[in-house]
Amino acid sequence: MKKIVFIIICTILANFLQAANTGKVFNVRDFGATGNGKKDDYSSIIRCINEALKEPESIIEFPSGRYLLSQTLFVESNATFTIRGVSSAKKPVLFTKTATTVLSIKSIAGRKGDLKISNLSFESKNPRFSQNHPFINKKLSWKCGIKVFDKDIVHIDDVSIKDVYGFGIHISANAAYIDKAIINDCWGFNPVDDNHGDGIYVWYVFNGSVTNCIVVNNFNKTGQLGRAGIVLEYECKNINVQNNYVSGYDRGIHIESDYGNLNISENNVSGSDLGILIGQPQIDGKNYPVVVNNNTISNRNLKMIPGLRKIWGARPADQPETRTLLSIIADSNSRDGTVISNNTIILDGNYSYFANSIIDVEANGISLINNKISLINQVKLNKPIKVRLLKNTIMKSNISKNLSTIYKDQ
């Protein structure tokens, strides 16, 4: 009996402490937001956010509905807070009628305050690609569905973002964790600078993950490839990219200028003939290896549509052999120890393909172990396809007989 009473007391105490640590909830409807999709809810929502930020660890809550925004929701604060929808089954939608960023959050000074965003949808306005599109070929024209700069720890869970010119999610933080995000038709086009147009862009993040996300640019609808589905750049390290589906971008997963210790596993990358690109790290000799394990990479779903512009490796000054389903390009030993294992890499001649190689490794110390590398419907390609490796590459993979392997010096 005493034991039962003790357990009950502990349970009550735990619930009390949990409640005490939960911030005050601020509902946007209490500040005049309607969510009817017709009235401009911007002022009401900003008023709610400003009041919430006066309280520690506050929660800004959206009931189901469509919330029209006449301008970007811009929040500048060092506070820890949460923005969430009441229901994940019927996510509230924050939308704009013009091509602008939907939600932008940054710290005032330094990387301070944690942030959680969940159970929300974000929609911007992005016309189909044409030479009259108002933003293409302009360096600083990009917008974001969610933009987060310089917070401490960020969690983005169960969100949907669509129709953004620029980036679906654009984030820098000490730690960032993105899970179950659905990114549809977020793209951009600027071949000269090649500086925007990604589904999920992660930079200056030192711990984190991108997991269970769907990142798709339907180029039949948008009229153009996006830049990259998932990007890890600029000193990123200790990040897990796992169980994502990526399709419809110039390159599926792009890693460059990082510090390594990145795990790219169990992803399905299609709709591109440059599936995974690992480029030069930030500082030669200061990075850790990358692991690419158990992914499926193919050019399937990349239709031969006139006007789709491929960028990396396809510009006049580029080396076309670098535009392959798996491309690793780095100087000296800067990618030493990187392991590519247990992946399925399929080049299908029924779909568009640019280069004459399926894999291009131009970095020392790379191991390719237990991968299945296949070329099917070769007759449609009308050209021989190769596997290009440095002589010191460790190659222990299953390669189909219609692929030749070329070893070269650094």
DSSP-derived secondary structure for 16-83: HHHHHTSPPEEEGGGGT---EEEEE-HHHHHHHHHHHTTSTTEEEEE-SSEEEESS-EEEE-S--EEE
Give dist(CA 86, CA 64) in Å, integer.
7
Percent of the chain surpassing pLDDT 90: 78
* 3-state percent helix, strand, coil for the chain, nearest multiple of 5: 10, 45, 45
Q: Position of tokens 């110039």?
A: 250
Answer left, alpha or beta for residue 290, where phi above 0 means left and psi between -120 and 50 means alpha.
beta
Greater model confidence, 4 or 117? 117
Burial label, 4 (beta-carbon count in 10 A; 0-12, 13-18, 19+): exposed
Whole-angstrom Cα Rg for the chain? 23
Using 50, 70 and 90 to split pLDDT, how confident is the model at 307?
Answer: confident
Question: What contacts 334, CB < 8 A, 6 or more positions away?
Answer: 280, 281, 284, 285, 287, 363
pLDDT attached to residue 14: 43
pLDDT attached to residue 16: 41
Evaluate whether 249 touches 272 at the Cβ level (below 8 Å).
yes
pLDDT attached to residue 132: 92
For residue 335, what are its two tokens?
Answer: 């990618």
Q: Position of tokens 């007989």?
A: 401
Please work out, in degrees rounded to the nearest 5, the angle formed at the alpha carbon of residue 41 by the alpha carbons of 39 and 46. 165
Q: Which of 40-54, 95-109, 321-335 has the lowest mean pLDDT?
A: 321-335
pLDDT attached to residue 89: 83
Using 50, 70 and 90 to split pLDDT, how confident is the model at 277?
Answer: very high
Residue 165 in this model has a pLDDT that exceeds 60: yes
Q: What is the pTM of this model?
A: 0.93
Percent of the chain surpassing pLDDT 70: 93
Cα separations in angstroms, 53 against 43, 46, 71, 113, 285:
15, 11, 20, 11, 43
Section 31-52 average pLDDT: 98
* Main-chain dihedrals φ then ψ at residue 321, nearest 5 degrees: -70, -15
Section 312-317 average pLDDT: 73
Evaluate whether 219 touches 301 at the Cβ level (below 8 Å).
no
